[in-house]
Amino acid sequence: MKLITFDFWNTLFLDQHEGIRHQKRIAFAHQMIGRHHPAIAVSEVASAFQAAHGVYLSQWESRKSFPMDLHFRELLRNLDLEIPEKDFARVVDFFESILLEHPPVLINNAFEAVRSAAQRMNVGLISDTGYTPGRALRKILEHHELLDSFNAFSFSNETGLLKPNREAFHKILDELKIRPHEAVHVGDLEETDITGAKQAGMKAIKFIGANPSSMRDSVADAVIEDLAELSHVLERW
């Protein structure tokens, strides 16, 4: 193998605070909207946020990107309100960066797995970003001293490509000039990580450590419960 790519969520990092972040997004949106529409109630903003979140989920399930500027624009549309562009941009930035106040935790043995892989081959990251864009995820990696282990990135907010779209994987393959059969992807979701990697011509390793109840039946070339197993799997190839 010349390249290994990792998924971010539930493969390298585990999120435990999205509910808290949503409440803070609602509160900040209410604060900024209230500057220009003082009569607006936080409950109205919360309802509009949930409606916009529903659109976001619908797009997500269809594997379409729905960036935070569209999310907040949909929120304002539900309220039939507008605010100045400067404050609009501040809300979008808050929506995207609040993760840094309540960051995800590094999954057991993830640091060692990435560092070890980086000593023997190129390493990439392929992530569907949702509420949090690549610029914030890079800061999380930097905080854990992992950013310099990666040679290339494919973040859906930057490429407009969500897994299992094969081009989300080929973006890194093309950038590093590596053929698909020389690469392997590690991820937790069968329908996006595993199917996407296989359709892109790569090998695939399914990580079930963050979700032990997930089915072991998989089209992946290997299934692991602990990232400490990764080096042993790679040695076979």
Q: Are strands 3-6 and 183-187 parallel, antiparallel or unpaired?
A: parallel
Sequence-ordered list of residues with C-beta below 8 angstroms from that of 229, at least 6 positions apart, any chain: none
Helices 42-61 and 18-34 pack at an angle, to 10 degrees, of: 130
End-to-end alpha carbon distance in the chain:
7
Tell me the per-residue pLDDT of 118-139, one tens digit each, with 9 for 90 and over. Answer: 999 999 999 999 999 999 999 9
Long-range contacts of 83-92 (CB under 8 A, 24+ apart): 83/32, 83/33, 83/35, 83/36, 83/37, 84/36, 87/32, 87/35, 87/36, 90/32, 91/28, 91/29, 91/32, 92/68
What pTM value is reported for the model? 0.94
pLDDT for the residue 213: 67
Beta bridge partners of 207: 224
Structure tokens at 56: 């976001």
pLDDT at 69: 96
Give 42-84 pLDDT, tens digit per residue: 999 999 999 999 999 999 999 998 999 999 999 999 999 999 9
Provide the pLDDT for residue 230. Answer: 97
Q: Give CA separation, 111 vs 4, 107, 161, 215, in Å.
A: 14, 8, 26, 25
Q: Where do the domains of the chain lie?
A: 3-14+105-235, 18-100
Flag residues of the chain having pLDDT under 70.
213-216
Q: Could you please state the CATH topology (level 3) that the domain comprising 3-14+105-235 is classified under.
A: Rossmann fold (3.40.50)
